[in-house]
Structure formats: structure tokens, C-alpha cells
């Protein structure tokens, strides 16, 4: 896979940040968490203006090497043409919720926003909108370059391990 410009999508708690950070280090690129673009600094209570988020994402995607990760299908769709690879983490919701609980609150989240995040992670396959399972599936199925869908934590770990090898193992599509 050509991982020079990789998008990692999936549910909250699926391991996007964990994988993206490792891939960015391996590729010598920048790791970008779309939460930092979508939310004003200081927490998860105030979203930035849509046009500002898109401008930030497009500017990041202009770089030579990057790994951009996030749940926001509407942002990903704006930079998808620049990507050389797409990794979709379709991890079961119960595992995602457990991962969010394990990592705890971060980036100034309040107890209320943390509870909302847990509820959000539970509804990945049932909710609608650009951050849903069905929206991510549509992004994945229309992407024509290198792509892989990983559905277990073991697969995510193996993918990261294989990416670190000099001759990467190809994963199924």
C-alpha cells in the first residue's frame, strides 16, 4: 500500500489515533486528528465554522506526507481525492465504548461531553449522517486507491506491525 497520504476513518474509540500516530512515524509524515480542526480549542463543546474546518483540512492535505484520522465523513470527503490510501476501522461498538472508557476524558472534555461521547460510540451502526457506519462504508466503497477495512483490534495491530516491515504485507480489501 502507498501510505504516503493515508486517511484513517472509524468510530470513536476504534483505534484511529493509535494507528494514525504509528503510521505517521513510519512514513515520516504528520499525524493529524480531525477533532483538532472540528472543535475550538479547550474541549468538545464548540464546533468551528464548517468553511474554516474544510480550509484547514485542505491545507493539511496539501502536504507531501500525512496521516489524517477522524470520524467526520464530511471533512474526509473534502480531502479524499488527495489520499493515496484509506484505512477503515470497523470495530464493534462495544469494544469502541470500552476503549473510550479506558482512555478517559481528554482535551478538556466535561463529564457531560464524555457521557455523550460514550453514547455516540454506542450508536455507530444505527445513527445517520456523515460520521456513521453507513457513511464510512460509502466512502470506503467509492475510494479507488489502496484501501483496507479492519474489523478487529488484532487486525489493526497486525496492520501497524506489517506497515513497519520493510516489505509490507498486503491486506485484503
pLDDT in tens, 43-96: 556 788 999 999 999 999 999 999 999 999 999 999 999 999 999 999 999 999
Asked whether the predicted pLDDT for residue 18 surpasses 60, the reply is yes
- The fold of 5-163 is Rossmann fold (3.40.50)
- The C-alpha atoms of residue 130 and residue 128 are separated, in whole angstroms, by 7
DSSP string, the chain: ---TEEEEEE-TTSSHHHHHHHHHHHHT-EEEETHHHHB-TTSSS-BPPHHHHHHHHHHHHTSSSEEEEES-HHHHHHHGGG-SEEEEE---HHHHHHHHHHH---TT--HHHHHHHHHHHHTTTT--STTSHHHHHHHHHH--SEEEEE-SHHHHHHHHHHHTSSSPPPPP-
Question: pLDDT per residue over 24-48, tens digit each?
Answer: 999 899 999 998 898 777 655 678 8
Residue 1 has pLDDT above 80, yes or no: yes
At residue 64, what are phi and psi to the nearest 5 degrees? Answer: -75, -35
Backbone angles phi, psi at 2, to 5 degrees: -90, 100
Indicate the domain borders of the chain. Answer: 5-163
131: Cβ–Cβ under 8 A, 6 or more apart, which residues?
Answer: 71, 72, 73, 74
C-alpha cell of 92? 464493534
How confident is the model over 114-164, as pLDDT tens digits?
Answer: 788 889 899 999 999 999 999 999 999 999 999 999 999 999 999 999 998
Model pLDDT, residue 47? 80
Give yes or no for residue 172 having a pLDDT over 60: no
**pLDDT given at position 169:** 46
Residue 35 CB partners (closer than 8 Å, separation 6+) = 44, 70, 107
Amino acid at each position: 500500500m502507498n501510505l504516503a497520504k493515508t486517511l484513517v476513518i472509524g468510530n470513536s474509540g476504534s483505534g484511529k489515533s493509535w494507528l494514525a500516530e504509528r503510521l505517521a512515524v513510519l512514513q515520516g509524515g504528520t499525524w493529524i486528528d480531525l477533532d483538532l480542526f472540528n472543535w475550538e480549542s479547550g474541549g468538545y463543546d464548540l464546533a468551528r465554522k464548517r468553511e474554516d474546518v474544510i480550509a484547514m483540512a485542505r491545507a493539511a492535505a496539501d502536504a507531501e506526507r500525512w496521516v489524517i484520522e477522524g470520524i467526520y465523513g464530511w471533512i474526509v470527503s473534502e480531502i479524499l481525492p488527495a489520499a493515496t490510501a484509506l484505512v477503515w476501522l470497523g470495530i464493534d461498538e462495544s469494544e469502541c465504548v470500552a476503549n473510550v472508557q479506558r482512555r478517559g476524558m481528554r482535551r478538556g472534555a466535561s463529564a457531560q461531553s464524555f457521557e455523550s461521547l460514550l453514547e455516540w460510540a454506542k450508536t455507530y451502526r444505527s445513527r445517520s449522517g456523515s460520521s456513521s457506519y453507513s457513511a464510512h462504508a460509502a466512502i470506503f466503497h467509492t475510494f479507488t486507491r489502496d484501501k483496507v477495512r479492519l474489523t478487529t483490534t488484532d487486525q489493526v495491530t497486525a496492520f501497524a506491525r506489517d506497515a513497519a516491515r520493510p516489505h509490507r504485507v498486503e491486506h485484503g480489501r
